[in-house]
Amino acid sequence: MNLEKLTTQVCSLVIETGDIIHREVKQLKAKDIETKSLHNFVTYVDKSSEELLVNRLSGLLPGSGFIAEENDSLPSGEFTWVVDPLDGTTNFIHGVPIYSISIGLLQGTDVLLGVVYEINHKECFHTWKSGPSFLNREPIKVSPTKKLTDSLLATGFPYYDYGRLDEYLDLFRYLMQNSRGIRRLGSAAADLAYVACGRFDGFYEYGLSPWDVCAGTLLVKNAGGRVSDFRGDQNYIFGKEILATNSSIHIELLKLFDSWNPTAE
């Protein structure tokens, strides 16, 4: 399999799909918005975009399976596409211009390629296994920041799992006071892409799904960064928690997470 060629084909597909999504934002009406759960929404744009992506990706790699946000399909065969057709739906329906398409390809649990397309700025982040990370065909690297106190961080807040919220806000408060600031974009895929290109020095969140992070994790790693769960282990795609950094501040952040111990029952 030529992963570089396949990644280029996926980039063309997400740019085409992104143009369609961008045209639809002005057409969206309140009646088009469905509530999946508290603070978790879906529109016909999410569904139609996913259908287009799944159909076209099936053609690129016949016999592959899918893990997709708006579809209950399961992995089948050797390769599995992990697809978020619109990461940042809440931003989209409110006209806030940060939302992304995220596509990763798994072979077992091994990520073979990752593409994140931030639609409004027409920024296509992409990479493949053992390759460099790119932004619109230009190589990117994580930031050179050495200390947490000099770092700009990103995070997100859970939609439904509020059992850890008090501790999470304690950590948030500490990082507000001991870093250059924290941003909340509303698209985990974009957060990870921004770590990969050095805009953010680190990103952390819990309650995420594989389609939120699969592509972005490979972008960060191939740009020189480090990705783990909150314990420093590698269960970040399916484990619902992620810490992605420029590598230099990773240990410092892990020590904070260890003292917070968010996974303790």
pLDDT tens-digit map of 52-61: 999 999 999 9
| Whether pLDDT at 164 is above 80 | no
Sign for the pseudo-dihedral over CA of 89, 90, 92, 93: positive
∠ CA 31-33-36, rounded to 5°: 135
pLDDT higher than 90, residue 47: no
Q: What is the mean pLDDT of residues 234-248?
A: 96
CATH superfamily label, 3-139: Fructose-1,6-Bisphosphatase, subunit A, domain 1 (3.30.540.10)
Residue 165's pLDDT is: 76
Q: What is the pLDDT of residue 162?
A: 66
- Nearest residue to 230 via CA among 201, 250, 247: 250
pLDDT at 140 over 80: yes
d(CA 253, CA 260): 11
Mean pLDDT confidence for 213-242: 96
Compare 108 and 33 and report the one with higher pLDDT: 108
Q: Specify whether the CB–CB gap between 213 and 242 falls below 8 A.
A: yes
Q: Could you give the dihedral angle defined by the CA atoms of residues 228, 261, 167 and 224, in that order, rounded to the nearest 10 degrees?
A: -20
Tokens of residue 92, six digits: 């989209």
Q: What percent of the chain has pLDDT over 90?
A: 69
Cα 125 to Cα 235: distance, rounded to the nearest angstrom:
23
pLDDT at 94: 84
The residue that leads in pLDDT, 251 or 63, is 251
Mean pLDDT of the chain: 88
Instruction: Supply the pLDDT for residue 70.
Output: 65
CATH, range 148-260: 3.40.190.80
Q: How crowded is the C-beta side of 69, counted as CA atoms within 13 Å?
A: 30
- Mean pLDDT for 67-80 is 74
Question: Does position 159 have pLDDT exceeding 80, yes or no?
Answer: no
pLDDT band at 64 (very low <50, low <70, confident <90, very high): very high
User: What's residue 74's pLDDT?
Assistant: 58
Sketch the domain layout of the chain as residue ranges. 3-139, 148-260
> Residue 265 above 60 pLDDT?
no
pLDDT tens-digit series, residues 190-218: 999 999 999 999 999 998 999 999 999 99
Q: What are φ and ψ of residue 27, in 5° steps?
A: -95, -10
Q: Label residue 43 by pLDDT band (50, 70, 90).
A: low
Q: SS3 breakdown of the chain: % helix, strand, coil, rounded to 5?
A: 35, 25, 35
Residue 24 is predicted with a pLDDT of 77
Confidence of residue 41 (pLDDT cuts 50, 70, 90): very low
Task: Band the pLDDT of 26: cuts 50, 70, 90.
Answer: low
